[in-house]
Chain A
Amino acid sequence: MSSQDDVAADAVRQRPTHEKGTFRGRLLELADSEVFKGSITLGPVLVLLTVFYAIPVVLLLTYSVFIEDPFSSGLTFDHFGRFIDMSAVTSFQFGELSYVRLLGRSLGIAVIVTVLSLVISYPITYYLGQYAPERWKIVLVMLVIIPFWTSYLIRTYAWIPILSTNGFINGTLTALGLPTLPLLNNMVGSIIGLVYVFVPFTVLPLYASMEGLDPSLIEASRDLGASRWEAFREVVFPLTLPGALAGGVFVFIKTAAAYVTPSLLGGTSGRMYAQVIETQFGSAFNWNFGAALSVILVVVVLGTIWIAMRWGINVKGSRGLGGGGL
């Protein structure tokens, strides 16, 4: 570093001097210190994360490894063992692995909801990002956001008179002389409700990606003979993959742990994993097993996302265009 640089650096580093020894001076020195500034900026975030994330997670982990009450009963992994009954595994009685099957069903529903949300979001955001007149964009985006102003619970309840046997859709079908459809109290009901609730979470990040997509790239691909589908597959999709992954991962996580929507719309066949967790903390009075089920859900969902992220990076590598990661 040159001497000129040193002088400049010294000027930058130079701190105002305070009267040493006085209370005011010490206070000003403290206010000027890196530790204080760090605490002010990082402190609230750390407190927030500790209170609302770290402590609950530690509590869950703690409950999951004690027989009953933490620190007053013995350590055990039986709660995790109850999730996977090894005797059923060794005897190939996989049908008896109820909790594993239920988790599998929840993850399956989460995949379906995520894919459907993306399929619905792509044409909407493509229009918004590429074709919508500038003055209408904000209005159209607001239409996506407005449902958030209403309670999640109310929005979900609203589907009951639409999907039920006596509801709007089946009433219309009956009036037209057509047979009614079982849309409520099954997996279809759960999926419809979840897609409706979570579509905005894929629309918004995808819209951001579409906005940044240079239309000349699409034009170029078309000029070079690509069909619309090929242009989407080779240009639009890879370049908007980060937005799709961001929204998709969020929807997947939220859906895998969904409780309210399957409770209200899912009936028996739409039952999901989080409902069993709730039962453990409620009428089953078994917090330890409920905590173990929660830990398993977190691990499985994070593992699935990790795999998906790896897949996302590979897509980026194979296309050589944008995308990749979050």
Chain B
Amino acid sequence: MVTGMKSRRKFIATTGSIGALGTIAGCLGGGDEDVVNYFSWGAYIDDDWIQPFEEDTGITVNTETYESNADAINQIETSPEGTYDVWTPSAPGADFERAYRNDLLDPIDLDNVPGWDEHIFEEMKLDEFSFDGEQYAVPMTFGFDGAIYNHEEVGDLGDTISYDVLWDEEYDGEITTRDDAATQIWTAAKYLGQDPDEPEDLDAIEDALNEHVDLVNTYWTSSADSIQNFQEGEASIGTSWDGAYHRLVDDDQPVSLAFWEEGTIGWFDCFCIARGSENKEAAEQFIDYMISEVPREWFEGPEYIVVSDAVEYTDEELETYNLEMALENTEFPAYNDDDEIQTYDEIWTDVTV
């Protein structure tokens, strides 16, 4: 697969990327020592945080956004090496491992990231951030695919509920879940009591998803979508990211957040260095800045859980974000190879058609 992906990059490069190279190089200024090309989720980019770094260090940070880990992986694979320096995939798990296997990551020299020792919580320094003894990810925020429900519509369901509610006819037409084949297979496997990383009965999973789809009003593909579904009354219960829940609360929506009894998908958004980075030291300097000296507003925007002591949480906030419970209740889905992805995609297409 790694070889295949390299060939794809080569093919793309020789057919269509010459123009793109010129454009991107012109826009991003790759290869310049005083530049960091930062590629991230929109929520993790803001001049309020980036400008102070630029003023302190004289390093220019060029930014570009993506909307999913898959988008980022595809973009980095098909761009000339050195186009990006820092990116922020979710890790550990399927996408992070794909990025490593497809050679999209360069190791991080932690000597250049003192914030790793100074600020990152010890329990957040997962072994899975390393491959073959080299560090590839520095965590910045933690989140999970929790259960969100409108307590005025469905009542108080507590803070741990079963996936059974997603198959409960009582909520027919009020459910929203994520439009993602791998996530749906994982969830259905949990609902059926199967191993979500190696499900043994895919036919049963497809049958279960066929029952689930009849009850769903709509699927979401982004945090904004899921927020909107609750705001507009299109959903009263479903899955979403915890950051979406916090933003709904800020909007005075009557929603509650819960973990899934059978297991909840968790993830870290991590700083990584893109393969072929020509500004590696500046990139490491930028990562260090982002985990250690960034004002707390940086984290309060996306409203996910900060995994360092760079933010001094109040007791109330600690209770709200519930980090310990979040860690205890979450799991990281395993890597799916191309055949598994194809199988899952076919099942999901059958179900949604």
Chain A residues with CB under 8 Å of chain B are: 51, 55-56, 59, 68-73, 96, 98-99, 101-102, 105, 160-161, 164-167, 182, 184-185, 263, 267-268, 271, 276, 279-287, 289
Contact = CB atoms under 8 A, between A and B. Distances in A.
A79 to B, nearest CB: 11
Contacts of B221: 263
Contact of A284 (B4, B217, B341): B341
Interface residues of B, number: 39
B235 to A, nearest CB: 9
A69 B350 contact: no
Nearest to A96: B350
A234 B96 CA distance: 65
Given A165-B234, A185-B217, A281 B16 contact: no
A164 B234 contact: yes
B353 A69 contact: no
B216 to A, nearest CB: 6
B74 A285 contact: yes
B8 interface: yes
B218 interface: yes
Given A69-B7, A285-B70, A164 B216 contact: no
Given A69-B8, A69-B11, A284-B341, A160 B232 contact: yes
Given A72-B3, A268-B352, A279-B349, 14 more contacts: A59-B16, A68-B7, A70-B8, A96-B350, A98-B350, A99-B353, A184-B218, A184-B234, A185-B234, A268-B216, A279-B181, A282-B68, A286-B341, A289-B342
A264 to B, nearest CB: 8
A167 to B, nearest CB: 6
A265 to B, nearest CB: 9
A271 B68 contact: no
Nearest to A276: B349
Contacts, number: 100
Contacts of A165: 232-234
Contacts of B353: 98-99, 101-102, 105, 271
Interface string B216-260: 111101000000100111100000000000000000000000000
A280 B346 CA distance: 11
B181 A271 contact: no
Contacts of A267: 217-219
Interface string B322-353: 00000000000000001001100110011011
Contacts of B189: none
B182 interface: yes
A52 to B, nearest CB: 11
B349 A164 contact: no
B232 A164 contact: yes
The 3 closest A-B pairs by CB, nearest first: A164-B232, A165-B233, A185-B218
Contacts of A101: 353
B314 interface: no
B338 A286 contact: yes
Given A101-B353, A161-B232, A68 B4 contact: yes
A185 to B, nearest CB: 4
Given A267-B219, A283-B181, A285-B74, A166 B8 contact: no
Contacts of B216: 268
A284 B338 CA distance: 8
Nearest to A281: B74
B16 A55 contact: yes
A286 B231 CA distance: 35
Given A164-B232, A166-B233, A184-B232, A285 B341 contact: yes
